[in-house]
Amino acid sequence: MIETSAYLNAADTAAHKAVETLREKIAQLEKPLGEFGTFLEVYREVPAAADVPIALSGLFEPAKPAGSQAGPSTSSVPPDADAPQQTAPLPEVGDSGGLEQSEAAAPVGEKNGEYTPVERSGGPPRFTHVPEAAKYPAGPYRQAPTEYGGEWWLVNPFTGNEPWRTHSAADGSASGAPELVAESLPEGFSKTFGEMPAHRPGESGTAFASRLGRWKQDLQFFQRTGVPDGFGESQVELAGAVYEQWGMGRPAFYEGRYGWFARFPDSAIPEFEMDAASAVEATHLAIARFQARLLREGGEVATPHPFVPLHLFET
């Protein structure tokens, strides 16, 4: 007959093993986080223009001048105290210290594959590599798509979920969307929707991401421009003459996700649009809606349309 103490001893042993396993898992997670945190502390203290290699114990090895011997001297003969000591001159700031130029100019940590900052200023922090515990969803770093460089970016409520989009456009760099250059856009798309949006001064990251996302969505579902189905060229020309008379410019008709629509790229509100049927058959309704929106956004109307409510002009 098995005594009760045997069951208790077995349960206690199993609980002890579970605790030890949990402690090992925690230690595995804490180690890369601790190393990465140490690196961030040192990274904040490094001057932006400094090109001098950094010695960080446990992460980076200090760069040594060419010709220096690694490790302690193996000579058994003690140095002569009276002999003049020859010491190599210390390299100045920016000097490679005898290293090749390509090696000396490499970013901190690149030589040994550790966590390397992509740049020292501009935009949220981003790195070529981060520990597993710092990666999304466990950590605050998300990886950008390949066309944006593939680095790991710090993401928070202030940067948005895709900070690489905002930073690439605000920086004016061609990287970030090489497939969206003007030469590769469909015929008629740039005239109808304009070039890829750029970050406006004082614009929030969320607002810019919304504009950029809408532009890319329009590009994704764009099919063609021309005369809408069910209408003749003469009808389109007549409607265009009416809009031009009211200061909205000629409309650009395009077929997209929801069929045929008309946009007014030469007007005060280039993104204003209506379905093609209304734009051709109810031109004055479209003009009234355009003027009402322009007034609500603080614009001025040269020739008020009689369909626009009078109280909009009073405000």
Domain end call among 200, 217, 234: 217
What is the helix (H) or strand (E) element at residue 262, kind and residue range? strand 259-263
Q: What confidence score (pLDDT) does residue 243 get?
A: 97
Residue 153 covered by a domain? yes
121 plus 212 within the same structural domain: yes
287 and 231 part of one domain: yes
Report yes or no on 17 lying in a domain.
Answer: no
Q: Are residues 234 and 213 in the same domain?
A: no
Asked whether 88 and 108 are in contact (CB, 8 A), the reply is no
Calculate mean pLDDT across residues 186-211. Answer: 86
Of 141, 140, 110, 115, nearest to 129 by C-alpha is: 115
Neighbouring CB atoms inside 10 A of 196's CB total 18
On whether residue 131 sits in a domain, the answer given is yes
Domain boundary, last residue among 217, 241, 263: 217
Number of independent structural domains in the chain: 2
Q: Are residues 172 and 206 in the same domain?
A: yes
Out of 4-8, 182-186, 286-290, pick the least confident.
4-8
> Domain end: 217, 245, 265, which one?
217
On whether residue 42 sits in a domain, the answer given is no
Residues 118 and 191 reside in one and the same domain: yes
Q: Is the model more confident about 62 or about 290?
A: 290
The C-alpha atoms of residue 222 and residue 136 are separated, in whole angstroms, by 33
Full strand arrangement of the beta sheet holding 152-154: 126-127, 152-154, 141-143
* 213 and 234, same domain (yes or no): no
Does the pTM exceed 0.85? no
Is residue 71 in some structural domain? no
* Higher per-residue pLDDT: 19 or 245: 245
* Rounded-to-10 torsion of CA 282, 288, 291, 295: -150
Residues 168-178, mean pLDDT to the nearest whole number: 48
Q: Is residue 80 domain-resident?
A: no
Q: In angstroms, rounded to a whole number, what is the distance separating the alpha carbons of residues 259 and 265?
A: 18
Residue 77 in any domain: the answer is no
Q: Are residues 134 and 194 in the same domain?
A: yes
What pLDDT band is residue 267 in, cutting at 50, 70 and 90?
very high
What is the mean predicted confidence (pLDDT) over 96-117? 43
204/155 same-domain check: yes
Q: Is the dihedral of CA 263, 265, 267, 268 positive or negative?
A: positive
| 39 occurs within a structural domain | no
Identify the pLDDT of residue 180. 55
Mean pLDDT computed over every residue of the chain: 73
Please tell me the predicted confidence (pLDDT) of residue 182.
57
Tokens found for residue 247:
């200061």
Residue 312 near residue 300, CB atoms below 8 Å: no
In the predicted model, what is the mean pLDDT of residues 139-167? 80
The domain of 280 spans: 224-314
118, 179: one domain: yes
